[in-house]
Amino acid sequence: MALKTLMLVCLLVAAMALIPPIAEAQLGGLISGLLGLIRIQGTVFCTVDGNMGVNGTATPVFPYALVQLQCGGNVVSSSTTNGSGIFSILLDPLQFLVPSLINNCNLAVKTPLSNCNTSLPSIGGLSSTLQVVGSTVAGLLNITNIIPTGFGFLRA
């Protein structure tokens, strides 16, 4: 019985030695994908361009606005800003590639600006491209952080 166990151990060691290093790298990529997230977050302000004004803290926010992530003209995720104008969208990195998000997707604020200030337009909306600002590690979880580059007003 001991001979069979020794043979099995030798066979396993030999098999492991034959596994190419690429398989380990691929497995690492899969594991990081399983233990990662993509977070798109930002603040929408109640201005004609959705951005913070020159005076900073005196700029009102846009609460309860619908923010959509659109890729190739399709809505792939959405969020609603909270009472402080902040939104957050979480994505699975196994379904979305960061370079593709940056190059092919944008954020669109679908709630009319007149909802937060009646002197602002009721037709049209805000749109922004995306940029990566780094990543955050929380335990085993790696979160890629993406923000809007700056909203701009689009007429309907």
Distance of CA 93 to the CA centre of its chain: 9
Lowest mean pLDDT among 28-42, 51-65, 71-85: 28-42
Longest Cα–Cα distance in the chain: 87
Residue 29's domain spans which residues?
Answer: 1-34
End-to-end Cα distance, the chain = 79
This prediction has a pTM of 0.75
Judge if 25 and 69 occupy the same domain: no
Is residue 138 domain-shared with residue 108, that is, in the same domain?
yes
Question: Mind listing the pLDDT tens digit for each residue in 51-77?
Answer: 787 766 678 999 999 999 999 989 999
Proportion of the chain above pLDDT 90, given as a percent: 62
Question: Is residue 86 within 8 Å of residue 41, measured between CB atoms?
Answer: yes
- The residues, ordered by sequence, that sit 6+ positions from 63 with a Cβ below 8 Å of its Cβ are 81, 82, 83, 84, 85, 116
Using pLDDT thresholds of 50, 70 and 90, give the confidence band for residue 19.
very low
How far, in Å, CA of 20 to CA of 18, rounded? 6
- Same domain for 3 and 24, yes or no, is yes
